[in-house]
């Protein structure tokens, strides 16, 4: 429990902590635009040292505004952002939609390999969320299993919109654990100094799908430098070489998302969502795997409950 008050938010309990800040469950105790008094929200309090960088505060406010512009069921909503001065100490925060559920990282730990049918459903949901993010002119920049949540209703939600660019800027300043964790899901062009665009998020989606269906990241290595080398230069092992039961179409889709040259990748999240939703009915799917049928996926809750029963 905590008795910290941040403007209109009363922090109730810590939910977790990471490289950017600490997340709390909080109650709204004063009226906020669009948020009723008494509502429960998640509040991320950013680490003070991040704001020692010149211009970081202005970028923080800009990213918070961008995050509030996206309203989509597959994206955890950014509700508010600001700073509270307490005894001469500045506390910067982001208020977000409070969502119950478990992350894709937890799903991988439970199941090891996630069935392809379920991977297609998860990919479809992520792609829909990315389409909304990209339509708002935003690149998420940090799509990874830890930042994707599955609710009890089987809705898949992208988290951390509005802080990903700030994390990227802070990462560039240090050789921290966050850097090592994030480089696994970075597109090659981002590691060579090019600006990230929508294709970087789609590359990360490909990596997430690869890891879900195989249970392992394609570029695992013991050191940061060796991970970097693999991300930049190594082609991932073929999915069907790992598991011949993976459909040629799904393997081909993931392969196209993971091209090193971003000019060769699929470029639109909405199109990827259509491919994954329609499966054998999609033009892309039919072109790659004519005549192949893909059965409908079971609910995520069924998989999670089966996994829990085995644990």
Active site residues: 142
DSSP reduced 3-state for 11 = strand
Alpha-helix runs per DSSP H in 72-115: 104-111
Please give the C-alpha separations between residue 53 and each of 189, 224, 244, in angstroms, as whole numbers: 25, 24, 50
DSSP reduced 3-state for 101 = coil
Tokens standing for residue 151? 């609710």
How far from the centroid of its chain's Cα atoms is residue 224's Cα?
21
- Is 21 within 8 Å of 45 (Cβ atoms)? yes
Closest CA relative to residue 44, chosen from 160, 189, 188: 160
DSSP reduced 3-state for 106 = helix
Tokens standing for residue 259? 């091209």
Tokens standing for residue 93? 């925060």
Tokens standing for residue 79? 């509700």
Element (H, E) at 67: helix 56-68
């Amino acid at each position: 429990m905590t008795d910290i008050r941040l403007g209109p938010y009363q922090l109730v309990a810590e939910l977790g902590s990471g490289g950017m800040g600490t997340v709390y469950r909080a109650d709204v105790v004063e009226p906020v635009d669009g948020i009723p008094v008494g509502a429960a929200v998640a509040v991320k309090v950013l680490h003070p040292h991040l704001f020692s960088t010149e211009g970081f505060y202005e970028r923080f406010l800009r990213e918070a505004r961008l995050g509030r512009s996206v309203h989509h069921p597959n994206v955890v909503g950014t509700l508010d952002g600001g700073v509270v001065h307490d005894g001469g100490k500045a506390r910067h925060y982001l208020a977000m939609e409070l969502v119950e559920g478990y992350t894709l990282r937890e799903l991988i730990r439970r199941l090891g390999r996630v069935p392809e049918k379920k991977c297609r459903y998860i990919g479809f949901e992520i792609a829909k969320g990315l389409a909304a993010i990209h339509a708002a002119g935003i690149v998420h920049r940090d799509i990874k299993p830890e930042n994707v949540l599955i609710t009890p209703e089987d809705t898949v939600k992208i988290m951390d919109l509005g802080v990903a660019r700030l994390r990227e800027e802070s990462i560039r300043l240090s050789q921290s654990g966050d850097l090592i964790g994030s480089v696994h899901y970075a597109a090659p062009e981002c590691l060579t100094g090019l600006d990230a665009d929508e294709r970087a998020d789609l590359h990360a989606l490909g990596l997430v799908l690869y890891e879900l269906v195989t249970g392992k990241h394609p570029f695992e290595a013991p050191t940061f430098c060796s991970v970097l080398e693999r991300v930049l230069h190594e082609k991932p092992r073929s999915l069907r070489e790992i598991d011949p039961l993976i459909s040629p179409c799904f393997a081909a889709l993931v392969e196209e998302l993971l091209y090193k040259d971003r000019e060769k990748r699929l470029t639109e999240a909405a199109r990827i969502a259509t491919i994954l939703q329609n499966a054998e009915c999609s033009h892309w799917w039919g072109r790659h795997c004519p005549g192949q049928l893909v059965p409908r996926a079971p609910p995520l809750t069924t998989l999670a409950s089966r996994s829990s029963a085995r644990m």
